[in-house]
Chain A
């Protein structure tokens, strides 16, 4: 139950402690009744891989990879799909589901009457989203293997990298959700997520942009994940990957800190 992500915030950091694992236990109980729902998250990237990677990809042939070497379009796009799936999975769990629990279902209020703190709730909910995300990532890796898209042992690190992407987007998603008051506000999230999904070097290299625009794209969060996971998938290891990791980790920690503060303000009145 001690997922690696739970160690991100040690006890006494100001948010979250080992007690947050109890939230994960709760969600395991819930999903025991409806575990089929969990499978849905596995199919999204698979369908994209078949439709875009193999369908559209057959017209494209090879493309330049992270280190400039030519690679098949499928190998180019598969790691990016893994990244966007990690982002979407984390955002779904941390926005819609989190909003419901925060505003409609009194679960959090009852939990706060126990020794658990708002930080424990934030971290526990995120931990659960990441466990789901981790399972999807493993499933997707297996599919990549089946299609012959596993070309380097470095690709193993793509799974923890996908978790890091989920952590970053999940935490920021929860933080954003804690400011929302109506379901309509979620359209704003799509307004951010959709361009990230389409323009972050997901389906074509960012070299396609004019220089100024390229630099802007390279500073957006999803690009960090896409470049990180794609580089790992093709074995193009360079120091820039450390920057991507640090960027995503900071984004997640900031999101968690805001979330735990907001739960505090919203529920501990």
Chain B
């Protein structure tokens, strides 16, 4: 099928994935435009990985329509995979090879010429800040290094579309920021990024647009800012009460904020002016142990939409 420049890079309608009687992805619709950074936000088990695997043409769809770069994964999987880079949730590096060999042989799987692969491998080692470890075995590398190598490997075929499944899960903050920086550079080069995450800061940093997934379905869609505006207030006051006080709070916070959310360890007051809401609490004679006023985040959007926290 010829590819039309204006058509979405990924097009999904009523996309469904079933494993036996279990439905992992339940009839979802979305489009991803070329050059866009698109995210799937949701807790573990929401169906994000299954969706990514279908896009990556390594998992057959159960029902609905899916087109990637205008092609059908069922019949043109190999041609799609040739133009896609994949960073799976768990590192799948080849432990029997060195860092550089991992890049080189991966390039060979794509049928690239050795000279070209050599050039790209050097560049990618630089990009991933692994040049000094080029000749080392993969096993002793740190988690962050393995992740960067996996991303470098996914770029060896100069993909138009990069699929990142939980790219920074399990990394320390410093390693995460380094990765985000690398991904941001790719985005600037025009690579379309599609990522899954259950970290709202990651989604806010990297995604132009995202869908919130819960229980195999898409429950909301928009830019991080739009979602916050639509489903939350500007600010949130987080209150922590001592265990004895928390019991007797019923009704005593009503009317202070636009919405009050009782979580096991804290109470969230949703208000456009968080400070005002916090002082109103004190005026009612309540003494929270700690008060934190912050801006609304996607975490709040998720809580509002599903009644649950993202990370449980």
Q: Which residues of A contact B (CB under 8 A)?
A: 19, 22, 25-26, 29-30, 33, 105-107, 109-117, 267-269
Q: Which residues of B, 32-77, contact A by the 8 Å Cβ criterion?
A: 53, 56, 58-60, 77
**B interface, CB within 8 angstroms of A:** 19, 53, 56, 58-60, 77-79, 81-82, 84, 86, 88, 90-97, 101, 104-106, 108-111, 153, 157
B109: contacting residue among A105, A114, A269, CB under 8 A? A114
Contact, CB under 8 Å: A22 / B90 = no
Q: A269-B19, A269-B59 are in contact. Are A110 and B93 (CB under 8 A)?
A: yes
For this complex, 27 residue pairs linking A to B, each with C-beta atoms less than 8 Å apart, are A19-B109, A22-B108, A22-B109, A22-B111, A25-B108, A26-B108, A29-B101, A29-B104, A29-B105, A30-B97, A105-B94, A105-B95, A106-B90, A106-B91, A110-B88, A113-B88, A114-B81, A114-B106, A114-B109, A114-B157, A115-B82, A116-B109, A117-B78, A267-B58, A268-B60, A269-B53, A269-B59
Least CB distance from B37 to A in Å reads 20
A26 / chain B contacts, CB cutoff of 8 Å: 94, 97, 105, 108
B81 — which chain A residues lie within 8 A by C-beta? 113-115
| Chain B residues closer than 8 Å to A267, beta-carbon distance | 58
- Residues of B contacting A268 in the complex (Cβ-Cβ under 8 angstroms): 58-60
With both beta carbons as reference points, the residue of chain B lying nearest to A112 in the complex is identified as B58
Residues of A contacting B110 with CB < 8 Å? 114-115
The reply to whether A110 and B92 form a contact with Cβ atoms under 8 Å apart is: yes
Assuming the contacts A114-B106, A115-B79, A116-B109, asked whether A29 and B88 have C-beta atoms less than 8 A apart, the reply is no
- CB–CB A113/B58 < 8 A: yes
Which 6 A-B pairs have CB atoms at the shortest separation, nearest pair first? A110-B92, A106-B92, A114-B109, A113-B86, A115-B78, A30-B96
Q: Tell me the interface secondary structure of chain A in the complex.
A: helix
> How far does the Cβ of A98 sit from chain B's closest Cβ, in whole Å?
14
Closest to A111 in B: B109
What CA separation (Å) do A114 and B153 show in the bound complex?
Answer: 11
Known: A113-B88, A268-B60; 20 extra A-B contacts, CB below 8 A, are A19-B111, A22-B108, A22-B109, A22-B111, A25-B108, A26-B94, A29-B101, A33-B96, A106-B93, A107-B94, A109-B88, A111-B109, A112-B58, A113-B81, A113-B84, A114-B109, A115-B82, A115-B109, A117-B77, A268-B59
Is B111 a contact partner of A115 (Cβ separation < 8 A)? Answer: yes
Residues of the B chain whose Cβ atoms lie less than 8 Å from the Cβ of A116: 78, 109
Please indicate which of the listed interface residues A26, A105, A115, A268 has the most CB atoms of chain B within 10 Å of its own CB.
A115
Contact pick for B97, options A29, A109, A115, CB 8 Å = A29
Cβ contacts under 8 Å, B94 to chain A: 26, 105, 107, 110
> How far apart sit A228 and B59, CA to CA, in the bound complex (Å)?
43
Residues of A with C-beta under 8 A to B82: 114-115
State the CA gap A105–B95 with chains docked (Å).
8
Among A110, A111, A267, find the residue whose CB has the most chain B CB atoms closer than 10 A: A110
Complex: chain A residue closest to B156, CB-CB:
A114
A26 to B105, CA, bound (A): 6
Q: How far is the CA of A25 from the CA of B94 in the complex (A)?
A: 13
Please name all residues of chain A whose beta carbon is closer than 8 Å to the beta carbon of B157 when the two chains form the complex. Answer: 114
Q: How distant is the Cα of A112 from the Cα of B88 in the complex, in angstroms? A: 12
B53: which A residues are within 8 A, CB to CB?
Answer: 269
CA distance A117 to B91 in the complex (A): 20
Contact A107 B92 (CB under 8 A): yes
Question: What residues of chain A lie closer than 8 Å to B92, measured between beta carbons?
Answer: 106-107, 109-110
Identify the closest chain B residue to A114 (Cβ).
B109
Inter-chain contacts of B91 with A (CB < 8 A)? 106
Chain B proximity of A54: nearest CB distance (Å): 39
